[in-house]
Amino acid sequence: MTDPFVRRLAALPSADKALLSVFAAVALLALLLGLAFGLATGLARGGFFPGLDDEAGYRLMTLHGVGAFFYWLSFAQIFLLLALTAGYVDGESRIAARPAAWLGAGTAILGFVLSEVGAGFGPPLLYDAPPELAMDPSPAVAAVHAGYLLLAVGLFLAAWAAIATALRSKREGGGEWPTVAFAAVAWAGLLMVSAVAAFTAFLPALLWSLGLAGPPADYSTGWHLLFHNMHYLPLLATVVVWYALVRHLTGVGSAFGATFSKVAFAAYLIFVPPTSLYHMFLEPDLPGAVRTAGSLLSLFIGVPTVLVFLVLVSSLELNARQAGAHGLFGWIGRLPWRHPAMAAIGAAVVNLALGGAFSFVLIQEKLAPLLSDTFMIPGYFHFLTLGTVTLTFLAGFVVALPALTGRDLSAPTWLARLPWLTTFGLAIFGAAGIAASYLGAPRRTLSVAYDGLAPPAWSALMAGVGTGAAIMGAAMIAYVAIVAASLLRRARAGADVPVVDWSGSGAVTAGRAGESSGVYQDALLTERAWVGPLAVLVLLAAMYAFTALTFNLLRALPVVAIGGGGH
């Protein structure tokens, strides 16, 4: 089975391949730097660097956030967005508006250099770079803000190139886009909005850091508006990549048809603005009606992800049953788990369930003020940023890069194991961190000993955080090193990486890229798929259990939260 996506990528003109390779290479470099600084930060938090001074520790934390959160996620998104758009639209296989994409690459790479230099040699600002932390304007602070703005320009231009590619296909062929192409356009639109949000947040800060204006009046709000979009962007990207790779790995398209899938992807964008209310929960004078509305609306934040998850899991289960799978979970074992992308996606689903359950605990208005400044935040969000999004993006890389470069992956067996080792380290990191948060351990504080006045459990749990960080950091660095080494070696055939083909079982025939024909759907109607709905029920039960646990634990603490004007 040769997936049309892979065929189209392989058929791209060399100039397009060069463009995509540049984005991929810079993305991997940003990830490698982010991982290395993150590993060091985790060890520092775990108490394994006793002589490290505070400024050096906060610099490590800043460089970790700048590299991993801003630049890895951005460059990876540009790479995958352009690859999926070019690989899933009809017509000629090439990227439209290539000069705009190259200009975007140039500005974003310049931004990367400026931000890294500013964060490395200026005051340690943390990744959100608030002017009040810098205290005084300086060229180094300006470099960080200018870097973010250049990245925003790059994102906007690259997103435009993706949209132009899809529009050219529509102009030439008419009709509806394939689902992945539609989802990619929605994703590109949200990238453009996020670029606008970045200007709102960082332009006043840049003018201040250059000494051209006073301190920004609403930096925190601007940052949180940008951050709200940046929550959503990688999650939307994650499910788009899942949708595309399921087809590549199993030959299975949506059993629910293109219309339902497109509605699910459009729902991401529809829920972005209404769910932003919860960022105001720390405002002490926020009216009760807004708190209630915000709590209710925040519950919708996971709906599109759950919808796409259901579409994919149910489609896989239905097709596997058509192909002869038996038992409630028997079909899961038939998935191509030895393929690095399948392993990465499987681990990502597990991590999404864990991160998702805790995120719903955090965005409740009674709990948000108590937990927002504790280690709960890094404890849960690494399940999402690293365990879900990064592993998914890397799954996209290990499928797309061999098609683009003609070089097969080195050590695919190791690439299939490392996501699970990462998840193991992440589980230690998250469990220790969240447990520490329930005991009040703060985030963004390198040493939690407080001269012996802090609860002894804090230091012990932080050692668990450091241990987990060491395992997941080392596993991820090894993963990136293997992928990079695969691309740098001379072209040759590598080990065979297995996929399965459930698209041709019985009466089932796959339709247009990622979609199903009428015959296909009729055949699937004779089957039943229970694992997807069961998984959602388990998720809801976990959310309830973690919320109840959190309430009970926090009620026992002698603290009162009144908010502090943040978000």
Partner 1 sequence: MTLDVRLIGLVALVWAVMAVLYATVTMLAHMPGSAMLWGSGAGIFALLAGAVWRAGESPRAK
80 touching partner 1, by CB under 8 A? no
Closest CA to 323 of 501, 498, 499: 501
Binding segment toward partner 1, per CB under 8 A, in 127-135, 256-264, 319-327, 446-454: 256-264
The residue among 292 and 509 lying less far from partner 1, judged by its C-beta, is: 292
Taking every pair of C-alpha atoms in the chain, what is the biggest distance, in angstroms?
70
Binding string to partner 1 for residues 435 to 474, with x set by CB under 8 A, is what? ----------------------------------------
**Shortest distance in whole angstroms from residue 31 CB to partner 1:** 28
Q: Which of 15, 18, 113, 263 binds partner 1 (CB under 8 A)?
A: 263
Cα 75 from Cα 112, distance rounded (Å): 10
The residue among 7 and 171 lying less far from partner 1, judged by its C-beta, is: 171
**Shortest distance in whole angstroms from residue 141 CB to partner 1:** 21
One-letter identity of residue 44:
A
Binding string to partner 1 for residues 105 to 144, with x set by CB under 8 A, is what? ----------------------------------------
One-letter identity of residue 236:
L
Binding string to partner 1 for residues 312 to 341, with x set by CB under 8 A, is what? ------------------------------
Binding string to partner 1 for residues 168 to 187, with x set by CB under 8 A, is what? x-xxxxxxxx----x--xx-
| SS3 at position 516 | strand
Binding string to partner 1 for residues 185 to 224, with x set by CB under 8 A, is what? xx--x--xx--xx--x-----------------x--xx-x
Contact 426, 468 (CB under 8 A): yes
Contact 194, 230 (CB under 8 A): yes
**Shortest distance in whole angstroms from residue 365 CB to partner 1:** 13
Binding segment toward partner 1, per CB under 8 A, in 161-169, 309-317, 463-471, 504-512: 161-169
Contact 47, 462 (CB under 8 A): yes
Dihedral (CA of 414, 419, 421, 425) sign = positive
- Count CB atoms within 10 A of the CB of residue 405: 18
Residues between 280 and 299 with contacts to partner 1, criterion CB under 8 A: 280, 283, 286-287, 289-290
Residues between 478 and 517 with contacts to partner 1, criterion CB under 8 A: none
Cα 137 from Cα 354, distance rounded (Å): 41
Cα 169 from Cα 265, distance rounded (Å): 20
Rounded to the nearest 10°, the torsion over CA 144, 82, 418, 68 is: 10
The residue among 266 and 431 lying less far from partner 1, judged by its C-beta, is: 266
Rounded to the nearest 10°, the torsion over CA 336, 409, 155, 187 is: -10
Cα 231 from Cα 68, distance rounded (Å): 14
The residue among 106 and 566 lying less far from partner 1, judged by its C-beta, is: 566
Give phi and psi for 338, each to the nearest 5: -80, -10
- List CB contacts of 545: < 8 A, sequence separation 6 or more: none
> By rule CB under 8 A, what count of residues binds partner 1?
43
**Shortest distance in whole angstroms from residue 418 CB to partner 1:** 37
Structure tokens belonging to residue 287? 């009216």
Q: Where on the chain is the footprint of partner 1 (CB under 8 A)?
A: 163, 167-168, 170-177, 182, 185-186, 189, 192-193, 196-197, 200, 218, 221-222, 224-225, 259, 262-263, 266, 269-270, 272-274, 276-277, 279-280, 283, 286-287, 289-290
